[in-house]
Every structure is written in C-alpha cells, then in structure tokens.
Amino acid sequence: MYHLLFLIIFLFVFSSCRQLSHQTDQVLSAAENNKEQLEQVLQHYDRQESEQLKNAVEYLIVNMYGQYAYDTLSLHIYRPILKELREQSIPATDLDIKWKHLKGRYPPHHHIYNHYYFDATKITAGFLIHDIDLAYETWKNNPYRDSISYENFCEYVLPYRKQRGLAIEDWRSIFSQKHKDYLASKYPSPMIPVLDSLLFYYRDYKHTSSLMPDYPYITIHDVLLSGRSLCEQRCWFNTMLFSALGIPATIDYVPAWGNRNNNHTWNTVQFGDTFYAMEPFWDHDRWKYRRLYNNINEDPWWGKFRLPKVFRYTYELNDEGPFFDREVKRDDIPLFFRNPNQKDVSNEYFTTHDVVIHIPEPSAPYYYLCVFNNGGWVPVQWGKRSREKVTFKNMGCGIVYLPAQFENGTVIPVGLPFILTYTGEKKYLPPKEPEETIAIRQTGPKSALDEANSKTMIGGKIQGANSPDFSDAVDLANVDQLIEISAEFPVWNTGKFRYIRFVFSCEETPNNRDPLNSMMLYGNIGEIVLYSNNKPIVAENVLCSESISVENAQKAFDGEPYTSVNPIVSETIDANLQVWIGVDLGKPVKPDKIELFSKNNDIYIYRGWTYHLYYWANDEWQLIASKKVRGNELVFNKVPQEALLLLKCMDKDLRERIFTYQDHKQVWW
C-alpha cells in the first residue's frame, strides 16, 4: 500500500516553512476533484499580511502529499464495546470473549484498514482554515512562546494530523476549549511541572495491554470514550493535547529494542534547542525517560534500556533511504523503512558511531543492520552500498548487530554478528574452541522489578489448621529469603492438618513496596505444591482471604507455575489486612514438605519442560542439545566458547534473549 501512496512521489528535501511552488502544484494535481478546496485555502492566506502564516500554510499543503486517513464509517460497529471497557461493566474475561466475537464477525482489517483516502482528495477548505487559524492563534498567544521557534511551530504544532491513518477531526477545538487559558494561568511557572500538571488531569487513562489492545483506535473520540490505549495511541493523544495549546510535541520510537523484546513509543516536548523525553502514561516520575534512553544508565527497577536507533514521526516528508530508490522492489524493503514520514534522531539521545561493513561480492544496493527481537532478526538501519562497503549511520552502542540483506520479505545474513562497543569497535562473535560446559537457569534477563515481585513472599509463613477459620493455626515453615524459582520447605511438625495456607507478611518493609508507584504489594506467588509421603497432593478446594478472589487464588494451585496470583495493592500499610491463600484437603493429612514457586515473569526454566540450546554459526542457529529440566538449572556440555547463544523453550513462548557465557554466567544482549 505504501508504494501506491507515493507512486509519483517527488524527490526533494524539504526545509521547514519555505515556498515550494512546484511541489504545491504537484499536491494540487494529486487532489483531483478536491483541488478547488486546497486552492481556496491558498487564496485565503494569500490575502494575509503575515509572511510567516503564508509560508506555514504552503508548508502544510506541500507535505500533505501521500498523507491518508482510514475510513471511519464502520466504527459504529465497534464503539458500543468501548463504553463497557471504560466502565468495566462486565468481567474482563467476558469482555475479552465479546471482543473476540465482534472482531471475528467484523474483522477490523477488512472493515477499517482496507478503506482509506488521501487527505488531499477529501479535506475541506473550511476545516483546514479553521485548524490553521486555531494553531497559529494558540502559538502566538502562548505565554511560553519565546521558547518555541517558528520552525518547531511549523513541524510540531501546525499539522492537523499526528500520524498517518488517523481520522481527520477537529481535535484542536476539543482540547483548546477544554483547557482554555490553562497555560496563562500557570505562567511563569517552569514548563515541565506545568505540563506534568496537565497530564495529571488524564491520569485515569490507562494502558490497555490485556484489554482489547487491537481495537482500531483511529479517532481521538474513541480514546476519550474508552479511557484506554496502547503507548502508540496515547502518544498521538498527548501530541494533540499539547499542540492544541501551542506546545510542540513529538512522537519518538525505537523500532526494536537492542537488548529486550518488542519496541516502544514515547513523547518529547521541544523548547528552544532542548527536548524533554517523557513516558506517555502519567506516573510519579514521567520525565525519567530522559535519563533512561541514553544507552548508559540503568534503571533501578527495569534494568538496562539499550536502543539501536530512535526515530521521530514527522509530518514532513523525508526522502532518504531505499524507499525513494526507484530501482529497489517493494518486497526488498523492510516494512519499517517504507514510511517516509520519519527521521533519525538517535544523536539527540545517545552517543552513536557509524558502522562500516565489508560485503564481499555484493548483490544488492542496500543492506541492513539487524537486532535480535521476538525470536528473529529485525532490521533497524539501512546502508547504501559503495563498492564492497556499506556504512550504517548513527548506531547505538552496547548491542549485538547482524548485517543482512533483505530480499522478498526475508532477512538474509551476510556476515558474523558483532557487539558494537562504546568506543565504536566491532567485537565479532565467532564460535571458538575448546568447547566448555555451562549451567543456565534463565531464557532471558531478570530485572529488579522481577525480583521485587518475588520479594513480596519474604516474611510470609505456611500454616496448618483443622478449623476452617484457622483459629487453631500452627506455623509449619517461614520464608526468610528470596525465592528465585522455587524452594522446598520441610515440615517438621508431626501433626495432621485439613487446612493449609500461605500467609503474606503485611508489615511495611521494602519487600512489600511496588518500585513503580510506591504502592504496597501483597500476594505475588506462582505456585504452591503440597507433598505427603513424597507425593504431590491434589488440591481442589481452594480457600483465600476476602482480599483475594477465589478465581485469583486458584492460580497458585493450578499446576502451572507460569500463572501467578495477581497482587493486592494498597496505598498504605494495613496491619489488620489479611492476605492468604490456602486449600481444604477434605481430611487431615500430614504434609512432608511444601514447595513454593515465585512469580516467574516468563524467564526461568521449570521442571518437566524441554529446552533447546542453540549457537549462531554459518548464518543460522545451530542446535547444541535438547534437554528436559530435572532441577532448577540446565547443564550443557560441548558448548563453543564466545559464541552467541539462545535457549528456547519448546513447551511455552517465553521472554527469550540472546546471550554469551562469561565468567560462569549468562550475559544478556
């Protein structure tokens, strides 16, 4: 679809807000029957005295070429479920079933994403004039205007759309009316706390990772109606909010993390020559990402953030790369690089180095550097070949890269993977002799947040009783240390008990503190296994305190360590709070031992599951061995030294990351 959008695309580099009459004519020609509407806009502003405004309008129209919107005619099919999502009027499981049925009957791909139109062919003069006037007025009247350049106004305040595909709607009026005189009432307070206060107003708008994450959010009204979205939608929501008040805001994103799976999108606001990166959803330290995205620091709870590249969505067209090379076939361009409305801003975030790769007998005009992400190699930067060399510009450090060719939608390796060091050196990773023996416990890295979840078990105790109210409870074991995977607790008490429970500590300690929002946590546990005569006891009748639902408590006795009890959250410590999970065994039983599993977070190995260990050689993953877990670690022999390794679980999709083995431990990349 993207090549169709830009079939006649012009190959010019646009500098902000300058007269480009030839390119304007091209947009007018592409507008077809809507040409008159755009001409009305140009004629309207041609009569204005402000040269700034005249240039801004032409800048807007010139870069309209190729902008498109999905059709909203079918959104009425889906919108009724948004109210139920916002009000949580039905259980989450029922909502999930209802949404699956709805999108199965009316697939969004068919009813929404297959129907689009170009902005130039549909946008009206009335809408555009109203939107331009409002944008210019809010910028001119912004009390913080001295810190906002005309160039930043054109690029990040003026555009009527913040991302391709979004519906054309009057979001500027919605936010400017709702927050009229907001900035004037705060001036001259520093801008960052002012914006933080504004975003606090929308603190109840939540991330929807587990509730209808694939809803077709293409209008601001649907986000306002549901009060939920993913990071990507919340980012364009924030840019609309800020732009409506005359504040230049951008959408920045890492297409694929360099040391973890998935990607991420966030916002920045621009003042003068300085930009401030921020988490899209409100929290108590939303501006911390200015510190995280520098490829040096390590967050105390989330761990390392390593970014190979950072790109910024732009309204302005950027004509660099393989997409604008007419000799390159569409299928030979990774999907990410078919978007001309983005620019590389990596240098604004962290120290970068250009990487030069020698390609013997090259056969393609463009090559790519890839990072490992979600089980495969993902292109994150292109380089144009010059004889037998390819230069990849502005690459992030401390990351493993694989040079590759992209052909017919497939990544084809063309060299060894390497670590790009902070001095700009390439440390290649060829497997070496002699082979070694390694012991490993994880498929991916553990963050301090993972550890914090496990810490909530510390201070807990296991009790047995024969009264259903546990009035005769006897302590059978105490948890006084961190449980990483699982731990067995022998029961020395010789009595028999019908009721067994695990009681969480409700004392205020760092172990019960959520590192992300300073709330108190109780109840994180993966599995409880009871043994009698060295055999597991089947626990069917699950009990729990009033603070935990039975449905939630059953996750601790379902035989599946990867399902975890959802924690109980409280703003303050409550000494009288009872948080416990237990079972009614039906008759008194003498337990021999009790095994506790921590919340797993999809990284630890587990007994009974099969894992394959691979190393990278000859442009593919080579199997070293396959093993079933017997204890809390896996031991592999004959592993090539200094090789790039990958441990894959064959029974479940986990957080799997590449690693090297150094000094008897896994080093994650």
Distances in whole angstroms, Cα of residue 240 to Cα of each of 22, 169, 197: 30, 11, 16
Which tens digits make up the pLDDT trace of 17-56? 434 467 888 899 999 999 999 999 999 999 888 899 999 9
Task: Give the H or E element holding residue 178.
Answer: helix 171-178
Look at residue 511 in the predicted model and tell me its pLDDT.
47
The span from the CA of 297 to the CA of 17, in Å, is: 37
Strand partners, 648: 612
- Phi, psi dihedral angles at 15 (to 5 degrees): -95, 150
> Greater confidence, 498 or 206?
498
Chain centroid to CA 529: 34
Count CB neighbours of 507 within 10 A: 10
The span from the CA of 326 to the CA of 487, in Å, is: 61
> Is 656 exposed, middle or buried, given 0-12, 13-18 or 19+ CB atoms closer than 10 A?
buried
How much is the average pLDDT of 617-635?
A: 93
The span from the CA of 26 to the CA of 446, in Å, is: 53
The span from the CA of 551 to the CA of 543, in Å, is: 10
Joined tokens for residue 264? 């991420």
The span from the CA of 567 to the CA of 457, in Å, is: 11
Lowest-pLDDT choice from 198-212, 561-575, 588-602: 561-575
Tokens 């590249």 belong to which residue?
309
Q: Is 434 helix (H, G, I), strand (E, B) or coil?
A: strand
> Greater confidence, 12 or 176?
176
* Residue 150's pLDDT band (cuts 50, 70, 90): very high
Strand partners, 668: 659
For the sheet containing 311-313, what is the strand order? 274-278, 264-271, 249-254, 311-313, 342-344
Joined tokens for residue 297? 């620091």
Indicate the angle between helix axes 51-62 and 21-30, nearest 10 degrees. Answer: 50
* Residue 569's pLDDT band (cuts 50, 70, 90): low
The span from the CA of 340 to the CA of 319, in Å, is: 6
- Phi, psi dihedral angles at 576 (to 5 degrees): -90, -5
Q: What is the pTM of this model?
A: 0.87
How much is the average pLDDT of 169-176?
A: 96
Q: Find the distance separating the first CA and the last CA of the chain, reported in whole Å.
A: 34
| Ramachandran area for residue 19 (φ above 0: left; ψ -120 to 50: alpha; else beta) | beta
> Is pLDDT above 50 for 516?
no
> Is pLDDT above 80 for 453?
no
Give per-residue burial for 356-385: e unless 16+ CB within 10 Å, then b: ebebeebebebbbbbbbbeeebbbbbbbeb
Look at residue 567 in the predicted model and tell me its pLDDT.
67
Count CB neighbours of 214 within 10 A: 11
Torsion of CA 626, 632, 636, 637, to 10 degrees: -140
